[in-house]
Amino acid sequence: MLGAHEPPLLPPHAGYTSQHSCYSQECQWWARWSFTSPPAETITLKISAHYEANICEGKKDIDATISAQDLVMVALKTIVPKVKTFCPTFPWWFNEFVVHDTDWVDLSAHHSPLPYFYPECLQPACKNPNSVVFKSKQFQLYVVVPAAQWHEYEVFFENAAATSSDTDPPDSDVSCDSRVNGVMTTSSMALTSNISTLPFHLCHAQSMFMPTHMAISPTCANEGESTRMLQMLGH
């Protein structure tokens, strides 16, 4: 029993520890974190030009939310230098090159600022069908040389071959230079009407990794465009 002049005993403090002295700092840290953007989702592209040897160019850390117009710029900036190296004497008109997806949609005519492939990477979650999760996918693009320009290249090639045959030994073939893995090599080309034997009929770009979202819709290929194309895959 307490004495008449002794203060009453209060119950001990509950729920508080020495960690609460850091409350203000922690509160500020979490407040900043809650407004911080999540880590950027990126894609990596491997762009290759194929004939008898490979011309490869890798691209990584491409923003996953890239738009169609930006995809066109990435594709052309990657392929055009390779085309110049392949046959620098031919006057290529790079402003006529067009970029298509696998459904033959012309990306240069798709002006939406929204991510191009992003929606195709979103799938229903296994545990909760009402929510979606990201799943990496592989995407393919084509840099297409118009048929008229390709025909002019064929004529240019045949004329160069004819001129070369007047000065070179009989069994020497006309060749165009191409850079393979940083080393300049020579691809011999036989003179024939078969288009597949011509150099630079295909450029291929394959994306190795794609941790992002993106999407689009289909159409048919234009008959006026050459099927010889620079192919580009996004992974």
Where are the chain's structural domains?
Answer: 37-234
- 3-state percent helix, strand, coil for the chain, nearest multiple of 5: 30, 30, 40
Contact 135, 120 (CB under 8 A): no
| Residue entry with tokens 């459904």 | 103
Q: What is the pTM of this model?
A: 0.52
Side-chain-side CA neighbours of residue 37 (13 Å)? 3
Tens of each residue's pLDDT in the chain, 235 residues: 555 666 666 666 666 666 667 777 777 766 666 655 555 566 665 555 433 234 456 667 777 778 889 988 988 888 888 888 888 899 989 998 888 887 888 888 988 888 888 888 788 888 887 888 777 777 777 777 787 887 888 899 899 888 877 665 554 444 454 333 333 333 323 222 333 334 444 333 333 232 333 333 333 344 444 434 444 444 4
Let me know: does 212 contact 64? Beta carbons within 8 Å.
yes
